[in-house]
Homo-oligomer: A and B are copies of this chain.
Amino acid sequence: MLRIMAKRSDKPDDRHYGGRGDPVRSMELLWRDRSAPARGRGPKPGLTVERIVTAAIDLADAEGLPALSMRRVAQRLGVGTMSLYTYVPGKAELIDVMFDTVCGEQDPIPWAEDWRERLELIARSTLGMYRRHPWMLSVMANSRPPLGPNSIANYDRDLRAVDGLGLTDLEMDSVVTMLAVYVQGAANTVVEAASTEPATGVSDQEWWETYGPLLAKVFDAEKYPTAARIGAVAGETYQSAYDPDHGFEFGLTRLLDGVAALIASR
């Protein structure tokens, strides 16, 4: 009756860029039994899902999601491309497992007395995760996430941080989600800023020195006096168009102030 992605899409690779895989296959992989080898009749497996996932994560960390290809992963493992398909149904499901694996590698976050500090620690830890694995930003799914053991553990940890503050269940969920969404957006900026210089070989200052004059030629400061004023101040202060780390902390403070107001109103 109810089929969920029972068929692969007709066109190759038209699932979202860091796509969701077939839920059933993904769940089987995510919650797979890691203990029993349970060898059967054929030849010994030369690989494991773990080794493939690790190699894929290393590759994505080093060269980004666009460089993540089945060929490249197989190359890293010294096997033929198609051998991977013995262990993993396809690229999309592999990415689902990569996602949950990374979710599980965060250090345990110390339990602070203050809810505010707890949320700050979580936010910064998550930011650190995105820093180490920028491709996670392209894979993140907030609706219909691949519900692996580690991402669920994180969800539980986040909820416990706002439990017992007088919020309703729904408000707790909303606060936690809002924080995750904000961190995701801010991390996008932070990560992009960090990755641009190595990728282009041009520092922010150099970029600004070239772009600025280019812009000055065409930009009419009289038409947009506010943008001209603030843009100049921000550019001088940050030596670039924007300082993402400052932005992250600034936004986090405002956001938690807003949460404080909600809690106070209860």
Q: A-side interface residues toward B, CB under 8 Å?
A: 2-5, 13-17, 23-24, 27, 31, 64-67, 138, 140-145, 147, 149, 152-153, 155-156, 159-160, 163, 169-170, 172-175, 177-178, 181-186, 188-189, 192-193, 196, 199-200, 202, 204, 206-207, 209-211, 214-215, 218-219, 224, 226-227, 229-231, 233-234, 237, 240-242, 244, 246-247, 250-251, 253-259, 261-262
Closest residue of chain B to A142, judged by CB? B189
Q: For A199, list chain B residues within 8 Å (CB).
A: 15-16
Between A153, A156, A192, A204, the greatest number of chain B beta carbons within 10 A of the residue's beta carbon is seen for A156
A225: shortest Cβ distance to chain B, in Å?
A: 8
Question: Are the C-beta atoms of A174 and B4 separated by less than 8 Å?
Answer: no
Question: Are the C-beta atoms of A226 and B163 separated by less than 8 Å?
Answer: yes
Contact of A23 among B31, B152, B173, B211 (CB under 8 A): B211
Question: Are the C-beta atoms of A254 and B255 separated by less than 8 Å?
Answer: yes
Question: Are the C-beta atoms of A2 and B170 separated by less than 8 Å?
Answer: no
Question: Are the C-beta atoms of A188 and B184 separated by less than 8 Å?
Answer: yes
Contact of A231 among B15, B23, B155 (CB under 8 A): B155
15 A-B pairs within 8 Å (CB atoms) are namely A27-B218, A31-B218, A142-B193, A143-B242, A156-B224, A159-B226, A172-B230, A173-B230, A173-B233, A174-B247, A174-B250, A178-B250, A181-B182, A181-B189, A181-B251
A215 to B4, CA, bound (A): 15
Question: Are the C-beta atoms of A219 and B2 separated by less than 8 Å?
Answer: no
Q: For A226, list chain B residues within 8 Å (CB).
A: 156, 159-160, 163
Question: Are the C-beta atoms of B152 and A4 separated by less than 8 Å?
Answer: no
Known contacts A173-B230, A254-B259; is-contact A240 B143 (Cβ 8 Å): yes
Question: Are the C-beta atoms of B173 and A142 separated by less than 8 Å?
Answer: no
Question: Are the C-beta atoms of B169 and A230 separated by less than 8 Å?
Answer: yes
Question: Are the C-beta atoms of B192 and A142 separated by less than 8 Å?
Answer: yes
Question: Are the C-beta atoms of B261 and A145 separated by less than 8 Å?
Answer: no
Question: Are the C-beta atoms of B65 and A17 separated by less than 8 Å?
Answer: yes
A54: shortest Cβ distance to chain B, in Å?
A: 22
Question: Are the C-beta atoms of B254 and A141 separated by less than 8 Å?
Answer: no
Q: For A250, list chain B residues within 8 Å (CB).
A: 174, 178
Closest residue of chain B to A149, judged by CB? B218
A64 to B17, CA, bound (A): 10
Closest residue of chain B to A261, judged by CB? B257
Question: Are the C-beta atoms of B224 and A13 separated by less than 8 Å?
Answer: no
